Amino acid sequence: MRRIGKAAWVLAASSLVLGGLTVAAKTAWAEAAAAAQAQSVTIGTRRLTESQYRHAIADILGADVRIEGRFEPDRRDAGLLAVGSAQLSITPAGFEQYYALARSISAQALAPERRARTLPCQPADPKTRDDACARAFIAKTGAALFRRPLTEGEIASRVRIAGAGAERAGDAYKGLELALASLLAAPDFLFRIEKAEGDPAAPGQYRLDGYTKAERLAFLFWDAPPDAELRRAAAAGELHDPKGLARQLDRLAASPRLQEGARAFFTDMLQLDHFDGLTKDPASYPKFSQAVADSAREQTLRRIVELLVVQKRDYRDLFTSNATVINRQLAAVYGVPYLSDQAWAPYTFPAEAERSGILTEITFLSLFAHPAASSPTRRGVKLHEIFLCEPTPEPPADVDFSKVQALANGTVRTRLIAHMENEGCAACHRVSDPVGLALEHFDGAGQRRTQENGQPIDVSANLNGQSFAGAPGLGAYLRTQSKIPACLVRQVYSYGVGRATDERDDDYVADQSKAFAADGYRLSGLMVRVASSPEFFKVKLPARPRPATKVAAAATGDVGGVQ
Amino acid sequence: MSLRFNRRSLMRGLLGGGTVAMGIPALDIFLDGHGAAWADGKRLPTRFGTYFWGLGLTDTPNGGTRWVPKTIGAGYEVTPELEPLRAVKNKVSVLSGFRVIGDGRPNIVHWTGHASILSGIAPAMTNRMDAASFDTKVADTIGGGTRFRVLDASASGKVVSYSTRTGSAFATPETTPTELYARLFGPGFQDPNRADWTPDPEIMLRQSVLSAITDQRQALMADVGRADQIKLEQYFTSVREMENQLALGLEKPEPCESCVVPAPPKAGVKAASVDTVNANTKTMAKLLAMALACNQSKVFNFVHTPGASETYMAGSSKIYHQITHDEPTDAALGYQIETSRLAGQVMEGLGAFLNELDAIKEGDGTLLDRSLVMAFSDTGYAKIHSIENIPIFLAGGAGGRHKAGQHIAGKGEAVTRASLTAQRIIGVPVSEFGVGGMRATRPITELMA
């Protein structure tokens, strides 16, 4: 009785306080809206990905700062984590991790051997507070971390933390460490907070503010926060001017850091994060190990960077090229000798290996399979989703599985034919399965085989009226499909703006695809054209907050329940 | 100075979060005296957990069930797939015949079932729920006063949790025994039975780090849209949880008679086969149980295997999900033989989990007697993705508030009735749960003491 009474009191009190906050937030919103053009508006928030976080720390505090911790899982929406990141928040378990990272990183950055590099000044007395030095450090490092200048309030609160901490610990550096940790745990660092402002060229309209533009550019091209030069250009308003923007784009695209940007983009597009949860049955695939999985992922990224960024080749070659790089672990699974004394070596597969293109790598073949078997359906579904931007609908719930029965022998093709004869299944399986069946010379770990259960495997396939055989036939077929480059255009754009495309973007995607073709399907050209198009910086104002938050309403309702 | 600061931040965390009873049990003004509150059996805290496994249990529309007991009420018989629960049978209620009522929404395979049980609404799309999962309400009601308002763990190596406050951002589970151990008993853990306790002066410095963040809250929230407001609310809730954790670190923990700090587990094997998942389940259950006994948390969510489970018998080339669809119903026996064998294996996980909770003596009973675990799945008859007759279990005495050991036949009633019952047993002040055809207003009173 007493327990419930207490709970009710706390609930009532908390809903009151929440109600107050809500009103405050509402008022602030109304004021912001009233001030319209002068005020900036937050149009979206996107949680930093793990690699963006790592690149930020390396750039701002040094590559030798160790980042040991677990990051909250990302979420894939419309095929991309970059789109899903706009849905993500930070849960209590996740914040614990970010907070522990903030403490560990700031302790390293202010450790005796690194503090001279980290700080723009030296505290006058190492034993107590130096507010001027703290201010200089917080303003400089904070602007790099928050990707915009800090407000006076943001600086002042951290100067206070540094001062109080220095006094309490008798150590100026301890105080600065606390201030840095406070920046690293802040939402302004952990989320990309995208802002729009009134557009002086078009009264009544909004445009992205300079820092948000800089952020979109830097994360697209380098997977890293804007460097000092890009922030300078943003502050000077140069990114609103086509010439100023072009200057920065040339610089971004010419930098070797474009390789990091490409790695991050393809890690997302190819869904390489699935490696984190990938396990194979050790009895079925004894050669498959964590080292093989890690190497396979690295092989895919190295091949892409070499082909598309270093050699600047035609994107479609990714589906036919048999030139790659391998290491010792991969050689064992591919069943080829490894003769180099280097960690990685170039390797060109002979034609009879049927290893042509990215679909014949261990990555694609093992990621989209079962723990102890291949899966033509999964491979087909993922090929369509990733490379053709054609997601497969969820299977219907009420399928009659009575005809789809297990077979003790024969190949997987026999089983799948049952799907294609079943009306509820056929519409999707007729699309997904042929391409998957063409890859059946590779098992669930990506090893080559020509038989299954003692039967020869038939790798012939027919899709959209075209017949082809095996992986090389599939690669050659895909290379001719205009949907392949058009899908890349779509993916690059969605990745950059953090939003899934829809039919309203079709004309834009078509125009960009035409330009992509005219340019010989070069990746960096595509990225520059997308980033310099007005659509890349287009502002979509968000729905306004609800009058009262759900939490407050629920709390009030709960009190009613007790009474 | 230090104490005032500490209390203030604690209260700020308490009020700002719209959450209940946070910190209260640990504040000595509410206790009768040091130690007495925990030594007295009546005052031992009640715990709540969810336990999820994928692919339901085996039955077929034409009879041939392998799990639904024939008799109703107490003393139900142990059916073949319930065999792993035999040791704790009298502490487990079996709920059969409850279904999802979608009000025209499609059955999103391997999602609609448990999303409805947890959120009360048949979801509009996969991987999202249309309302918060109810475990968060339980956590807000009873989860305070401990380091972790809620603990999430997943045993199959997959990063999966179905606990959500926003409907789109889900909790982050620990996925290995090693990770779980580090979070529970690694840095930041204070042994409640340690005699020579002193507060760590570093904690107050850590608290100051967060003050600048909460100070900026209003400025940040001023010009955001609806979706971002919800996300940032979640972020600030997480910050408050951290503040609460730090504040508790400055309080001398109350002794817990059942708390024995466990040794670190051996690094597990990374595999999804059912024997590995069950071994992880057992190890993680041991750690979770001890975390509850050591008063580190009162609420948990555990995922044995996700919906559309990809677990398999070691060495077999087919995964469970595929087998449920492909395997024919045996004409003589009336059920799918291999599917049922796997279901039995999967239930070994639940049995092991509950046995671990039951192995810890607490007061005049066991930890399981002080807990309520709601275990459920994504489907009923998995071969056809049925969302009727989804197996649901309520396990544990809930401190005397659950009349356990019964079989309740739902006769086509909404699954939300089970969810409402769980909430009411554990003391969440709700009068109804779910919407539309799944709006439940009457808990299953037969189960409530």
- In the stretch 338-377 of chain B, residues with CB closer than 8 A to chain A read none
Chain A residue nearest residue B241, CA to CA: A92
Which residues 280-319 on chain B approach chain A with CB closer than 8 angstroms?
310, 312, 314-319
In this predicted model, what pLDDT tens digit does every residue of B54-72 receive, in sequence order? 999 998 766 679 999 999 9
Residue B387 in contact with residue B414, Cβ under 8 Å? Answer: no
Q: Which residue in B118, B121, B146, B116 sits closest to B21, CA to CA?
A: B146
Look up the pTM and report it: 0.85
B1 touches chain A (CB under 8 A): no
Instruction: Write down the pLDDT at residue A23.
Output: 44
Minimal Cα distance from A372: which residue of B? Answer: B317
Q: What is the pLDDT of residue A1?
A: 33
CA-based nearest residue to A177, from B205, B179, B447, B303: B205
Q: Which pLDDT belongs to residue B40?
A: 44
Window 359-398 of A: residues touching B by CB (8 A cutoff) are 370-373, 394-398
Of A89, A284, A555, Cβ closest to residue B234: A89
- pLDDT for B28 equals 32
Q: What is the rounded CA–CA span in Å between residue B79 and residue A409?
A: 33
Q: Looking at the partner chain, which of A99, A396, A415 has a beta carbon nearest the beta carbon of B242?
A: A99
Contacts with A87 (C-beta within 8 Å, 6 or more apart), sequence order: A75, A77, B168, B169, B227, B231
Closest CA to A46 of B240, B232, B219: B232
Interface contact A561-B238, CB threshold 8 A: no
Nearest to B172 among A8, A93, A541 (CB): A93
The Cα of A549 is separated from the nearest Cα of chain B by a number of Å equal to 8
The pLDDT tens digits along chain A (563 residues) read: 333 333 333 333 333 333 344 444 444 444 444 444 457 899 999 999 999 999 999 999 999 999 988 888 888 999 999 999 988 899 998 999 999 999 999 999 999 999 999 999 999 999 999 999 999 999 999 999 999 999 999 999 999 999 999 999 999 999 999 999 999 999 999 999 999 999 998 888 999 999 999 999 999 999 999 999 999 999 999 999 999 999 999 999 999 999 999 999 999 999 999 998 888 998 899 999 999 999 999 999 999 999 999 999 999 999 999 999 999 999 999 999 999 999 999 999 999 999 999 999 999 999 999 999 999 999 999 999 999 999 988 777 776 665 555 555 567 777 777 666 777 778 788 888 888 999 999 999 999 999 988 889 999 998 888 999 999 999 999 999 999 999 999 999 999 999 999 999 999 999 999 999 999 999 999 999 999 999 999 998 888 776 544 443 333 333 222 22
B14 touching A (Cβ < 8 Å): yes
The interface pTM score, or ipTM, of the predicted complex is 0.86
Indicate the residue of A29, A42, A397 with minimum beta-carbon distance to B385: A397
Quote the pLDDT of residue A426.
80
pLDDT at residue A286, as a whole number: 93
A543–B227 C-beta distance less than 8 A? yes
What's the distance, CA B144 to chain centroid?
A: 16
Neighbours of B205 (CB within 10 A): 21
Asked if B173 contacts B306 with a C-beta cutoff of 8 angstroms, the reply is no
> B87 CA to chain A: closest CA distance, Å?
32
| DSSP category for residue A306 | I
For residue A109 the two structure tokens come to: 């950055």
Nearest CA to A381 out of A81, A74, A79 is that of A79
Element (H, E) at A83: helix A81-84
Centroid of chain to Cα A553: 34
From chain B residues 208-237, the ones with a CB under 8 A of any chain A CB are: 208-213, 215-216, 218-235, 237
- Residues of chain A neighbouring B215 (CB-CB closer than 8 A): 153, 157
Contact residues, chain A, for B439 at CB < 8 Å: none
Would the CB atoms of B318 and A18 count as touching at under 8 Å? no
CB spacing of B16 vs A75 below 8 angstroms: no
Nearest residue of chain B to residue A12 (CA atoms) = B18
B-chain residue closest to A562, CA distance: B429
Name chain B contacts of A405, Cβ cutoff 8 Å.
326-328
Q: What is the pLDDT of residue A29?
A: 44
Give yes or no for a contact between A557 and A16, defined as CB atoms under 8 angstroms apart. no
Q: How would you classify the pairing of strands B151-154 and B299-303?
A: parallel
* Contacts for A528 with CB less than 8 Å, ≥ 6 apart: A249, A250, A253
| Alpha-carbon distance A513 to nearest alpha carbon in chain B (angstroms) | 31
User: What's the maximum distance between 2 C-alpha atoms anywhere in chain A?
Assistant: 82
* Closest residue to A561, CB basis, from B225, B322, B429: B429
- Whether A460 and A472 have beta carbons less than 8 Å apart is answered as no
pLDDT of the residue at B331: 85
Amino acid in position A43 = I
With CA atoms as reference, the chain A residue closest to B21 would be A7
The whole-number pLDDT of residue B200 equals 87
Residue of B nearest to A182 (CA): B209
Contacts of A153 in chain B (CB under 8 A): 215-216, 219
Indicate the residue of B14, B226, B312 with minimum beta-carbon distance to A545. B226
Please, are residues B212 and B324 in contact by the beta-carbon 8 Å criterion? no
Return the residue of A nearest to B441 by Cα. A561
Q: Which residue of B has its CA nearest to A160?
A: B212
CB contact under 8 A, B179 and A70: yes
Residues of chain A in contact with residue B222, where contact means CB-CB under 8 angstroms, are: 25, 28-29, 31-32
Chain B contact for A541, CB < 8 A?
Answer: yes
Distance between CA atoms of residues A9 and B20, nearest Å: 9
Out of A3, A284, A544, closest to residue B225 by CB: A544
- Looking up tokens 């899903």, which residue turns up? A84
pLDDT, tens digit, for every residue of B122-174? 999 999 999 999 999 999 999 988 999 999 999 998 889 999 998 988 999 99
Q: Is-contact B214 B242, C-beta < 8 A? A: no
In a 10 Å sphere around its CB, with 0-12 CB exposed, 13-18 middle and 19+ buried, how is residue B23 labelled? buried
C-alpha distance from B217 to closest chain A C-alpha (Å): 9
| CA B365 to chain centroid | 21
Instruction: Indicate the helix (H) or strand (E) that contains A348.
Output: strand A345-348
Query: Distance between CA atoms of A47 and A52, rounded to whole angstroms?
Result: 10
* Contacting residues of B for A44, CB less than 8 Å apart: 225, 228
User: Cβ of B14 and A10 within 8 Å?
Assistant: yes
Chain A: give the shortest CA distance to residue B258, in Å. Answer: 24
Quote the CA–CA distance of A328 and A338 in Å, as a whole number: 6
Question: Residue A16: its pLDDT value, please?
Answer: 36
Nearest CA in chain B to A373: B317
Contact residues for A356 (Cβ-Cβ < 8 A; gap 6+): A319, A320, A321, A322, A349, A471, A472, A475
CA gap A357, A472 in Å, rounded:
8
Count the neighbouring beta carbons within 10 Å of the beta carbon of residue A320.
16
Q: Is A186 on the interface with B (CB under 8 A)?
A: yes
CB B297 within 8 A of CB B150: yes
How far is A52 from A74, CA to CA, in rounded Å?
12
Q: What DSSP letter does each residue of A452-509 carry, written as one string?
A: ETTEEPP-EEEETTEEEEHHHHHHHHHHT-THHHHHHHHHHHHHHHTS---GGGHHHH
Residue with tokens 């869904």: A271
Question: A395–B109: do the CB atoms touch at under 8 Å?
Answer: yes
B104 at interface of A, judged by CB pairs closer than 8 A: no
Contact B242 A8 (CB under 8 A): no
Q: Please report residues of A whose CB lies closer than 8 A to that of B383.
A: 401
**10 Å Cβ neighbour count for A318?**
25
| Rounded (to 5) percent helix, strand, coil in chain B | 40, 15, 45
Contact between A19 and A186 under an 8 Å Cβ cutoff? The reply is no
Residue B164 DSSP code: B
Which of A35-49, B70-84, B215-229 comes out lowest in average pLDDT?
A35-49
For chain A, how are helix, strand and coil distributed in percent, rounded to 5? 60, 5, 35
Residue B17 has pLDDT above 50, yes or no: no
Rounded Cα distance between A70 and A143, Å, is: 25
CA B24/CA A7 separation, integer angstroms: 10
What is the rounded CA–CA span in Å between residue B131 and residue B118? 9
Residue from B111, B116, B163, B235 to probe the interface with A (highest A Cβ count within 10 Å)? B235
Shortest CB distance from A558 goes to which of B211, B314, B429? B429
b/e B232-243 (16+ beta carbons within 10 angstroms → b): bbbbbbbbbbbb
SS3 A398: coil
Amino acid letter, residue A337: P
Whole-Å CA distances, B75 to A232, B70, B72, B92, B406: 76, 11, 8, 11, 7
- For the stretch B185-200, pLDDT in tens is 998 899 999 988 888 8
First to last CA, chain B: 46
- Among B18, B159, B227, the residue with its CB nearest the CB of A551 is B18
Judge whether A15 is closer than 8 Å to chain B, CB to CB.
yes
Mutate to test the interface with A, among B223, B229, B233, B280 (most CBs of A within 10 A): B223
B431/A187 Cβ within 8 A: no
